[in-house]
A and B are shown apart, each in its own frame.
Chain A
Amino acid sequence: MVERQLTISRGTKRSIVKALLSVVLTLAVTSVVFLINNVNPILAFIYMFQGAFGDINLASETMIRMTPILIVSLGLAVSFKCKIWNIGAEGQLYIGAMLGTIAAIGIGGGPLSLLAALVVGAVGGLLWAAGPALMKVKLGINEVITTFLMNFVGIYLVQWMISYPFRSPDTYFPESSAIPSSSALAVILPGTRLHLGVALALALVPLVYFLLERTTFGYKVKVVGENPEAARYGGMEIGKVIFVSLVFSGLLAGLAGITEVMGIQFRVRGSLSPGYGYTGIVVALLGNNNPIGVALASLFLAAIMNGSSTLAWTMNIPMGIVDLMQGLLFIFVLASEPLVRFLERRGVLKL
C-alpha cells in the first residue's frame, strides 16, 4: 500500500519525459539561434540563469514574474484536464484586474478592501469566462473561438475604461488611479518587491492538487475530459462540469490580474500583462496539467523571461528571444507525445 503510493506510475513517468524532452529541444534550437548570432550558447544560458537567480533581488523578481503565470496556469490546468480549451485567460485577467482595482479604490483602503478587491477581481475573471462557458454548454459553440475572441473585447474594454471613465486625473497616460496603499499586498521579504501574492500563488498549488485529486469535482473533470460518453453513462451532468471547470479557470485568471495590480503595479495600465494569459497555456501543457508540474513550468518560463532581459544588455540579444523560446516550447510540447511514441516504438526509449 505504502509502496504503491511511492512508485511513480508509468503515465507520470511518461509526462515527465515529455516535458524534459520539450525543454531540451527548445534549448537546443535556441542554441542554434545563438550560434548564428555569434553568441556562445552555454555562456548565454549561464547569463540567463544568473539573470534569473543571480542574487536575492533577481531571484525574488523571478518569483514575482512567476506569480501571475502560476495562478493563471493552475486554473487552465483544471479546464484543460476537462478537455476544455480556455484560450481567453488574458482577457479574463484584464477584466479581473480592472474590476478588482475599481473595488479597491471604491472601498477606499483597509483590510476589507484588500479582501474585497481580491474577491471582486477573481469574480470578474469568472464572469468573463461565464459567457463562453454558457455558449459552450447551452449552444455547443466551440470555446476555443469564443474565449479567444473575448480576449479582444476584454482588453479593449479595459483600455477604454482606463482612458475615459476610470482614468487617473493625475497623469497624462491612459491608466487608472492607484489603489489605496493599505490595499496593496504586503512585501514579505524586506528589501525586495516580493509580495504576499507569491505566497498566495504557491498556496494554490496544493489546493488545486487537492481539488483535482481528492474531490468528486476533480474526479468528474477527469472522466468528462477522458471519456464524455462514460460520464454521460455514469449519470454526470457534463454541462455543469464543463461550465464549472471553465469559469474556474476564469476565476484564477482574474485573481492573477488583481494580484499583479495589488502586488506590483498598483494601478491598471495597458501594459499590465505581457501575455501571461497565453504563457499560462504553454505552462499548463508543459506541466501536463499537474499542479506540481505547472509550478515548475511556470518557474521555468518566469526564469526565461527575466533571464533574457539580462541577456539583452550583456550579450546584445534582443528581448524577442523570450517569444522565440515560448513558441518553441509550445511546438515541442505538442510534438512530444508523437515523438515519445515514436522513440518507444523504435526501442530507443523504454517506459
Chain B
Amino acid sequence: MAITPLSSPFFEKREVNSTPQNEEYAIFLKNISKTFPNGTVANQDVTLGILRGEVHAILGENGAGKTTLMRIISGILKPDKGEIFIDGKPVKIRDPRDASRLGIGMVHQHFTLIPEFTVRENIALVLATSPWLDLKKVDEKIAAVSKDMGLEIDPESKIESLPVGKRQLVEILRLLCQDVRILMLDEPTSVLTPIEVDSFFKMIMNLKSSGKTVVLITHKMKEALQISDRITVLRGGRVIRTIPTSDANEALLASLVVEGMLPAPTLVRGTPGDIILKVESLKVKDDRGRIAVDGLNLTVRSGEIVGIAGVAGNGQKELVEAITGLRKVESGAVKLLSQDITNKPTRFIIEKGISYIPEDRMHRGVVLTMGVHENLALKCIEKPPMSKSKIIDRRSMVKNAESLISKFSIKASDPCTSVENLSGGNIQKLIVARELSNGGLVLIAEQPTAGLDIKASEAVHQKLVELRSMGVGILLVSSDLDEIMKLSDRICVIFGGKIVGEFMPENLDVERLSRLMLGAE
C-alpha cells in the first residue's frame, strides 16, 4: 500500500527536517530499546518524533510496547539503549520528577490519585513547594485551569466518591495545574462510557488548541482515527510506521497492527433455558451510605447473556457486589436457582457457582506480588487437586497454570512469575482464565474487555459465548455499548439503581437506549 505522505497538507507543513535536533519535535526518541529482567523485549530500536502541538496516537496491541515506551519518557523506566530529545535537546530522564521539570506528564491506565483525599488535596500534594499549604493558591490554580479547559470539577469532592470518568479528568487537571506541556494518556477511554468519551475528546481538542502536545496510547483504531493528527503503529516493540491520520483508514491500520486479522465472528444468539439467577427488589447502599441500588429486579436464565447497559455510577458496581456477597444487601433478595443467597458469605456464593470477573483487576482480581500459578488457584486453593487436607500441591498449581496459560494465550515468562511482571491485558486474561475455568452456573463479567486489544477481546467474547452454549448464565456489565449489543441476548438498561428498560437485540432502538441510559424517560 503506497502512502504518499507529501499529499497531506499537514505533513507538508511540518515534516521538514526529521532529525532529533529539530525543535519542532516536542519529543524525539532515537533507537530506544528496553528488555525487562524477565527477558521480555518491550521496545526495540524505537525511533519516533512527536511534533509540538499535535495529537499523536500510539496504536498497537497489548504487549506491543506502548505503555513501556511512555513509561520510559515519563522517567518511570530506564531504557537499556537510546536517546531522548525534548524540544531538540538531548535529555536524561531519570525519574518522574525530571519528566515533570521538562513539562511531561502521564495519566496512567491505573490512576494514581489518593482516594481518601479531595480533589484539592490531591492537587495541592503535587503543587507543594514549601512546607506551608497555601490552599487559596491551589484553589485559584484549579479554578483558572478548569475555566481554560472547560472542566467542571468540585475541588471539595473526595476522589473515592467520584465516578471513574471524573477521576480521569482530575488526573488531567492535576497535570495541567503543574503546567505540563506534553500529556501522555494511557488507554484513556477504556474506563469511559460513550457519552464520557465524547466530552473527553472535546477536552483533548481544547488541550490541542491551547498548544499542548498530546500523546494518546490506544488500541482502538476508531479513536485514533477520530482524534489524532498522526498515528504511530507499534507491533512487537517496534515502530511499524508513522502516518498522518488523514492518510489512514481502518483497513490500513488493522493490517499494520496485527498480521493476519481474525475474521469477525458471526455470533449466534443463545437459547435461554430456565431462570437461574433472580434479583428481587434489591436495595443496596454505596460506600457513602446512600441507596445505590434501589429496588432492582433482574433475572438471568441459563444459556443467556444479559447485558447491563448504563452510565458508570448508576448502581452497577453495587449490584454486582451485592450478588457476589461483597456488599451488604439492605433489603430484597438474590436467588440462585431456588436457593436464597442474600447476604451469604462470598465463599458460599463462589461455591454455589457464581464466578466473577471484576472491573478493578489490579486491586480485586489479583495479588500482584504473588505468582501466576498462585493467582490462578485463588478460588480453588482449598479443593483438590490444588490442596489435599490443607496441604498445597504445588505441582498441581503449576500444571494448572501451564494449561491455562496456553489455553488463554497468557504472555508470561514462566508459570510461577509474579503477576506484576505481566502487562495489563495479560493480567485480565489470567483473571478471565481463572473465572471461566471454574465451571460455575453464573458468570458476572464486569467490563471484561476494558483495556484489552482486538485479539484478546475477541478471545474473551468467544469464551463467553462458548460458556453460554454450555448453559451458563452470564451477566455482562459493560460501558462498551458495542460489546453489549454484540453479545447480549437481552439488554437491560440501568439508571439510578433501577432497571429502566429492556430490549431484545432484534428490536433494539439505540436512540431510545441512549435516552434511557441518561434517565431521559
Contacts of B369 in A (CB 8 A): 11, 226
Q: Is the CB of A230 within 8 A of B392?
A: no
Which A220-256 residues have a C-beta within 8 angstroms of B?
220, 222-223, 226-227, 229-230, 232-237
Residue interface bits A249-287, CB-to-B below 8 A is 1, else 0: 000000000000000000000000000000000000000
Contacts of B127 in A (CB 8 A): none
B360's nearest neighbour on chain A, judged by CB, is A229
Q: Is the CB of B365 within 8 A of A215?
A: no
B388's nearest neighbour on chain A, judged by CB, is A216
Q: Is the CB of A216 within 8 A of B387?
A: yes
A interface, over-half SS: helix
B347 on the A face (CB < 8 A): yes
Contacts of B374 in A (CB 8 A): 219, 222
B430 on the A face (CB < 8 A): no
B169 on the A face (CB < 8 A): no
Contacts of B378 in A (CB 8 A): 223, 230, 234
B230 on the A face (CB < 8 A): no
Q: How far is the CA of A223 from the CA of B375 in the complex (A)?
A: 9
Contacts of A10 in B (CB 8 A): 37
Q: Given A235-B347, A345-B94, A347-B78, are A216 and B367 also a contact pair (CB < 8 Å)?
A: no
Q: How far is the CA of A219 from the CA of B390 in the complex (A)?
A: 10
Q: Is the CB of A214 within 8 A of B364?
A: no
B358's nearest neighbour on chain A, judged by CB, is A233
| Minimum Cβ distance to chain A for residue B178 (Å) | 21
| Minimum Cβ distance to chain A for residue B221 (Å) | 33
Residue interface bits A189-225, CB-to-B below 8 A is 1, else 0: 0000000000000000000000001111111101100
B345 on the A face (CB < 8 A): yes
Q: Is the CB of A230 within 8 A of B387?
A: no
A4 on the B face (CB < 8 A): yes
Q: Is the CB of A216 within 8 A of B381?
A: yes
B366 on the A face (CB < 8 A): yes
Q: Is the CB of B363 within 8 A of A227?
A: yes
- Give the contacting residue for A235; candidates B379, B414, B416, B418; CB below 8 A: B379
A227's nearest neighbour on chain B, judged by CB, is B367
Q: Given A4-B416, A216-B381, are A233 and B390 also a contact pair (CB < 8 Å)?
A: no
Q: Given A11-B418, A214-B394, are A230 and B364 also a contact pair (CB < 8 Å)?
A: yes
Residue interface bits B310-341, CB-to-A below 8 A is 1, else 0: 00000000000000111000000000000000
Q: Given A214-B392, A215-B390, are A222 and B370 also a contact pair (CB < 8 Å)?
A: yes
| Minimum Cβ distance to chain A for residue B450 (Å) | 17
Q: Is the CB of B95 within 8 A of A345?
A: yes
Q: Is the CB of B391 within 8 A of A227?
A: no
Q: Taking each of A223, A230, A346, which has the highest tally of chain B beta carbons within 10 Å of its own beta carbon?
A: A230
Q: Is the CB of A235 within 8 A of B345?
A: yes
Q: Is the CB of B365 within 8 A of A233?
A: yes
Q: Is the CB of B326 within 8 A of A232?
A: yes
| Minimum Cβ distance to chain B for residue A348 (Å) | 12
Q: Is the CB of A236 within 8 A of B390?
A: no
Q: How far is the CA of A235 from the CA of B95 in the complex (A)?
A: 39
B37's nearest neighbour on chain A, judged by CB, is A10
Q: How far is the CA of A213 from the CA of B397 in the complex (A)?
A: 13
Contacts of A232 in B (CB 8 A): 326, 346
Contacts of A347 in B (CB 8 A): 78
Contacts of A351 in B (CB 8 A): 37
Q: How far is the CA of A217 from the CA of B389 in the complex (A)?
A: 11
| Minimum Cβ distance to chain A for residue B441 (Å) | 16
Q: Taking each of A215, A218, A219, A347, which has the highest tally of chain B beta carbons within 10 Å of its own beta carbon?
A: A219
B375's nearest neighbour on chain A, judged by CB, is A230
B28 on the A face (CB < 8 A): no
- Give the contacting residue for B367; candidates A217, A218, A230; CB below 8 A: A230
Q: Is the CB of A226 within 8 A of B326?
A: no
Q: Given A4-B416, A214-B394, A345-B94, are A233 and B382 also a contact pair (CB < 8 Å)?
A: no
Q: Is the CB of A236 within 8 A of B416?
A: no
Q: How far is the CA of A222 from the CA of B367 in the complex (A)?
A: 9
Q: Given A223-B378, A226-B370, A345-B95, are A235 and B391 also a contact pair (CB < 8 Å)?
A: no
Q: Is the CB of A230 within 8 A of B366?
A: yes
B390's nearest neighbour on chain A, judged by CB, is A216
Q: How far is the CA of A96 from the CA of B378 in the complex (A)?
A: 36
Q: How far is the CA of A220 from the CA of B377 in the complex (A)?
A: 11
Contacts of B346 in A (CB 8 A): 232-235
Q: Is the CB of A229 within 8 A of B37?
A: no
A222's nearest neighbour on chain B, judged by CB, is B370
Q: Is the CB of A219 within 8 A of B381?
A: yes
B518 on the A face (CB < 8 A): no
Pairs of residues from A and B, 7 with the lowest C-beta to C-beta distance, nearest first? A235-B347, A234-B378, A235-B346, A235-B350, A227-B367, A233-B364, A226-B367
Can you give 17 contacting A-B residue pairs, CB < 8 Å?
Answer: A4-B416, A11-B418, A215-B387, A215-B390, A216-B382, A216-B392, A223-B378, A227-B366, A229-B363, A232-B326, A233-B364, A233-B365, A234-B379, A235-B350, A236-B347, A237-B345, A347-B78
Q: Which residues of A contact B (CB under 8 A)?
A: 1, 4, 10-11, 213-220, 222-223, 226-227, 229-230, 232-237, 345-347, 351
